[in-house]
Amino acid sequence: MFGVRELRAIAEFEQVYALFEAIWRFGDAAPPVTVELMRALTHAGGYAAGAFDGDRLVGASVGFLAAGDALRSHVTGAVVPGAGHALKLHQRSWARQRGLARVTWTFDPLVRRDAHFSLAKLGARPVAYLPDFYGVTGDAIGLGEESDRLLTEWPTAPGPAPVPAPGCPRGAAVALADDGGRPVPGRAAARRYGAGGGPRRRRAAARRRPGRGPRLAARRTGRARRAHGRGPGRHRVLQQVLLRCGEEGVKITGVELRRIAMPLVAPFRTSFGTETARDVLLVRVVTPEAEGWGECVAMSEPHYSPEYVDGAADVIRRFLLPALPPALDAEAVGRALEPVKGHRMAKAALETAVLDAQLRAAGESFGRFLGAARTRVPCGVSVGIMDTIPQLLDAVAGYLDEGYVRIKLKIEPGWDVEPVRAVRERFGDDVLLQVDANAAYTLADAPRLAKLDAFDLLLVEQPLANDDLVQHARLARLLRTPICLDESIESAAHAAAAIELGSCSIVNIKPGRLGGYLEARRVHDLCRAHGVAVWCGGMLETGLGRAANVALAALPGFTLPGDTSGSRRYYATDVTEPFELADGHLRVPSGPGLGVEPLPEVLAEVTTATEWIAL
């Protein structure tokens, strides 16, 4: 996980110059950028950022403002896997915050990993093929070759970057062919070149073909990489394969719906009811290369939201699976399921399972995919409504002893001011304290809610009805305590409306309520751009859902501790290896996909029903 920040000081630019020298070894050749130029660009409003692993600079990027509302990324280099991806996400966010429509850059289309990174992983769109764009290169990587480049652009509009083709799977490839000077998808076969058939000769030959431009491709996987060997007897392989939309790809072979019964270690009471156990719906997506898991957070009864677990299973079975794209592509899932109105928790479970399978196949973690900036996250705990105040104080004391860094108290009319007063008086002002009403109040209760201002709370969460942004905006003007919205935020569009109306100054991001982790990331990006704090809420998830939540909570905009409690807060035995609190934090899983696996023996013991649906 990396922290990415803008650079401004001469000393920082000198670090970037040294990093680029270590990567390109340009020696006496012209460097891609100088210390003086970085200083001038940033002073004029340009872009320079570094990716840091602790205090160590592991990647950097420099760009400038270009015509047509664009940030032109001039050079990006990294020495640690994942740092380049983190820098690109930072570029996109930086450009979007400044009203720029896209990020553009060029890359050598004969370098397989660069083509995969730009076109397949980021989903940038090819714009133009630029023969010998920089002239003959002189650094140690270019080896004096001509510098053919592919110009790409990456939209900055809210939401994830587009993908070049639905279902771009592991093992697929992206190919480009020239049509009137513009790259377009096309088919090509692997070509073997003998001695002397290096990129320069291949490019010249391609330009000489009458009526045909260069076919340039990059395989996503496989052992054939660009060879730098030169001279007699040395061969190079330029692999050129097309992924035509929908024709190839790793197919989803089937989906399993699994119900498990998870008893809670203690009853959990909120303003809408008491839970003693969870009836959990797990979704398992299976492909020939990997399988992925998603956890549906819908409750047994439709009290927190209109969704409930039996209904979620039914809508997945009858409506969502028939609409699911056949290829393994999480980005396409949301678009395909959009015609089905609502049912966000069901959609989130299915999309998460697809994303988990996709990332496991690619060997990429949830955290790295989402853009996590930390390797561990601070954890708060949610404390339910108790029968007595002494019982509440004992529970809070126990959680503080375990190391939780923030306490959230559930409240309702009749259980609000006095419990909060008792906790504050017992544990002091240093404890981070907030309350959650779960929509239990009306605007007429504003005078009572205003009494909570005396206790220096971090926030009051969802005091009014979930569908009433206007009344929340009025209440916000009556309270000193910041208002946080939970149930009211079901999409990035809802978050934008709430921010515009002044309905809240903090947002609780729950991926299940939002329809999945891709939409959750959009809400994060939106709030961060508007200076609105966010934190990650919880829905009593098992280790499968908790793993994804912890990865999400590691994004840079999550500045408040979330409800990402350790496993034993709710379950004596989790379905995965338990998440253990260490110094008030949970570690972000770093393995492929969710980074955790269900324990077969535990899963078998708690399973109440399974259903296999072949696709």
Lowest mean pLDDT among 177-186, 373-382, 596-605: 177-186
Confirm if 484 and 516 have CB atoms less than 8 A apart. Answer: no
Q: What's the pLDDT at 313?
A: 97
**Which of 20-29, 152-161, 206-215, 313-322 comes out lowest in average pLDDT?**
206-215
The mean pLDDT value for 596-600 works out to 95
pLDDT bracket for residue 208 (50, 70, 90):
very low
Contact 260, 273 (CB under 8 A): no
pLDDT at 82 (0 to 100): 84
Examine the pLDDT at 543 and tell me if it is beyond 90. yes
**Model confidence pLDDT, tens digit, residues 123-155:** 888 888 788 787 766 544 454 566 788 899 999
> Residue 267's pLDDT is what?
87
Tell me which range, 102-116, 125-139, 387-401, is most confidently predicted by mean pLDDT: 387-401
Share of the chain above pLDDT 70, in %: 82
Average pLDDT over every residue of 364-371: 92
- 535: its two tokens: 């934190």
Per-residue model confidence (pLDDT) at position 28: 65
Average model confidence (pLDDT) across the chain: 83
DSSP annotation string for 537-579: ---S--HHHHHHHHHHHTSTTB-S-BS---GGGT-SS-SSSPP
Using DSSP, state whether 582 is helix, strand or coil: strand
Percent helix, strand, coil in the chain, to 5, is 35, 25, 40
| Active site (catalytic) residues | 410, 510
Residue type for position 605: E
Res. 214: pLDDT tops 80? no
How far is Cα 79 from Cα 452, in angstroms, rounded to an integer? 50
pLDDT of 296 > 90? The answer is: yes
pLDDT at 147: 75
Higher pLDDT, 268 or 129: 268
Mean pLDDT of 564-579: 94
What pLDDT, in 10s, does the model give residues 232-265? Answer: 332 232 233 333 333 345 789 999 999 999 999 9
Which range, of 25-34, 291-300, 523-532, 577-586, averages the lowest pLDDT? 25-34
Q: What is the mean pLDDT of residues 475-497?
A: 96
* Helix extents (H) in 477-541: 492-501, 511-514, 517-529
Confidence of residue 184 (pLDDT cuts 50, 70, 90): very low
- Report which residue type is found at 528: R
pLDDT at residue 309, rounded to an integer: 97
DSSP summary character for residue 148: -
pLDDT at 173 over 70: no
Task: Give the 3-state secondary structure of residue 261.
Answer: strand
Residue 32 confidence (pLDDT): 86
State yes or no: pLDDT of 352 exceeds 50. yes
pLDDT the model gives residue 338: 93
Q: 407-442: per-residue pLDDT in tens?
A: 999 999 999 999 999 999 999 999 999 999 999 999
Assess whether pLDDT exceeds 80 at residue 14: yes
The pLDDT value recorded for residue 126 is: 84
278-287 mean pLDDT: 96
Average of per-residue pLDDT across 290-311:
94
pLDDT at site 322: 95
Checking phi first, is residue 328 left (phi over 0); if not, alpha (psi -120 to 50) or beta? beta
